[in-house]
Structures are given as structure tokens and as C-alpha cells.
Structure 1
Amino acid sequence: MSSHYLQGIKLKMAKSLRSKWKRKMRAEKRKKNAPKELIRLKQALSLDKKAEAVMTDIQEIATVVSADQIMEAASVAMGEVAVGEGKMDMDSKRNKKTLLDEHGQYPGWMNQRQAKKLKGKRLGKSGQGKKKKKGIAW
């Protein structure tokens, strides 16, 4: 079978009447809500009184910081990095080759299969000369 044929099979999945109807209705909903979303976006971006009211609502939920303050903080942070070493000190006690920390733990992002593979490599090196020969056991 050609790869184009297999790709065609993948594309034909989820084409039941129910899924077609759901896709159609989601598209209709997007069309219906588009003008409202556009107005809300314009309000958030504009500087008229309505937008200020929206910003006060947002300030109750989250901390609002102006763009000038962010730029100043970024420029100060860039200056500190240039002056400092620029090295992160988070995993300084982790072995770069085995990825183990001082407690013998692998990093949180590593899955069990990867950890098992690295453990096999690490333990396999210590017992390389002790492998049994394959053959008939009489």
C-alpha cells in the first residue's frame, strides 16, 4: 500500500453523521459569537471609559502591569545577566552523564522507560566481564 492511501484512511476517521453535525454546529457558534468577541477585544485594547471598567474588573482577578514597567524590568534583568555569570544553579548536584541527583533520583521529566534504560547501561558497565556464555547446558 502506498503512503498516500494510508493517509487517506487516517483522514476518513471521525466522519460519522454525529461528528459532522457537531463540527457544523461549532462553526455556526463561532460565526454567531465572532462579532461579540471582536467588540470585547476592541474594548480590551482601546483606552475609552468602557475599557477602563474592564481593566478594573481584570485588576480584581490578576495583577495588571504596564508595558513600560515590564520593559524596564527586562532591561534591568538583562544588565544583571551580563554582569553575572549567567549560569543557572538549580541542578548543580546532578551528574550530567547519568542524570542522577545526590539522592540517586532521576529528573521529574524523565519517564520510567528512559530511567530503566539508563540504569541498565549504568549497572551493565560494572558487570561486563561476568556475562554468561550462551550454549547448550548439559
Structure 2
Amino acid sequence: MAKSLRSKWKRKMRAEKRKKNAPKELARLKQALSLDKKGEADMSDLQDIATVVPADKITKQTDVEMAEQEEEDGGKMDMDKKRNKKTLLDENGQYPTWMNQRQAKKMKAKRVTKKTGKVKKKKGIAW
């Protein structure tokens, strides 16, 4: 796919744009990462690129959140223990969230045919 003339042209022009903007981008990155005499980066230019948060604040915050979460959960993972492995139904008869509607419909059809022995006809055009 993506072999049309239009997409080739777009790809070519994006490459040209990258070439044109590369020196400016590199200079801006170097300036952002250059250190001042104090040993800290110039944050005024960085603020328009990204939000700047000190590293020690982030590490403290994540450590506290992890500790609280472990205390709540008791250090165990949340697992769906009441799920039938064969049918993938839970105790309420619900399929897992990752399963799409087509898969659920297929599983239900299998279950019903096993239970009743009758095959339900599908709607639509028969070719």
C-alpha cells in the first residue's frame, strides 16, 4: 500500500522538510541541553517545548504512590479468578473487555449449539 504518486510525493516533501529543519532543530536541542554556569539547563527556552519538573519531585511522588497502592492491594495483582477458562465468561455472564463483539457472538453460538444441539441459521445472503 501507499505506492500512489500522491503518497510518494508527500513522502518526498516530508523528507525535504526534515532536511531543511534539521539544522535548526539540532541547534535548538543543543541550546536547550547546554548547561549554564550554575550547572542547570536554561529552562526559559525549554518551557515552550515541554513542561519542566524537577527529577527529585517525580521520584518522591512515584515512590509514595507505589507504597500506597501496595498497602491497598496487599501486594497482589488484580486477577479475574471467577472466569471460566473454556467459555471466558465471568460469574455475571460477561465476556472480557478485550474481546470484540464478533468473537463474543462466535463463542455464544458455539455454546448454544452444544447446549441445544440445534444450529441457528445465519442472517444474510446465502451464496
Q: TM-score, normalised by structure 1?
A: 0.54
Identity %: 57
Describe the shift of the 1:19–1:56 C-alpha distance in structure 2 as closer, same or farther (beyond 3 A). closer
Q: Establish whether residue 22 from structure 1 lines up as the match of residue 13 from structure 2.
A: no
What letter matches 2:45 in structure 1? Answer: V
1:87 aligns to 2:81 (yes or no) = no
1:15 to partner: Cα distance? 5.1
- Structure-2 change in CA distance of 1:66 and 1:121 (3 Å): farther
**Structure 2 counterpart SS, 1:70:** helix
User: Quick one: distance in 1 between partners of 2:62 and 2:84?
Assistant: 31
Structure 1: state its 5+ residue gaps.
1-9, 133-138
Q: Which residue of 2 aligns with 1:54?
A: 45
- AA aligned opposite 1:35: P
Deviation at 1:114, TM superposition (A): 1.0
- Aligned partner of 2:102 in structure 1 is 113
* 2-structure distance, mates of 1:87, 1:15: 49
Give runs of aligned pairs for residues 57-136 of structure 1, distance below 5 A: 57=48, 64-76=52-64, 77=66, 81=70, 84-88=74-78, 92=80, 95-97=83-85, 98-101=87-90, 103-127=92-116, 130-131=117-118
Relative distance call for 1:96 and 1:33 in structure 2 (3 A) is farther
Task: Return the offset for 1:58.
Answer: 5.8
Q: Which has the higher helix share?
A: 1
- The number of residue pairs the alignment matches comes to 113
1:135 alignment partner in structure 2: none
Deviation at 1:50, TM superposition (A): 7.8
Q: Describe the superposition over 1:15-67 as per-residue Cα deviations: whole angstroms up to 9, x where unpaired.
A: 53x443332222111100111221232344344488311344467xx5x4322
TM-score of the pair, normalised by structure 2:
0.57
* d(CA) in 2 for partners of 1:58, 1:22: 26
Structure 1 counterpart SS, 2:29 = helix
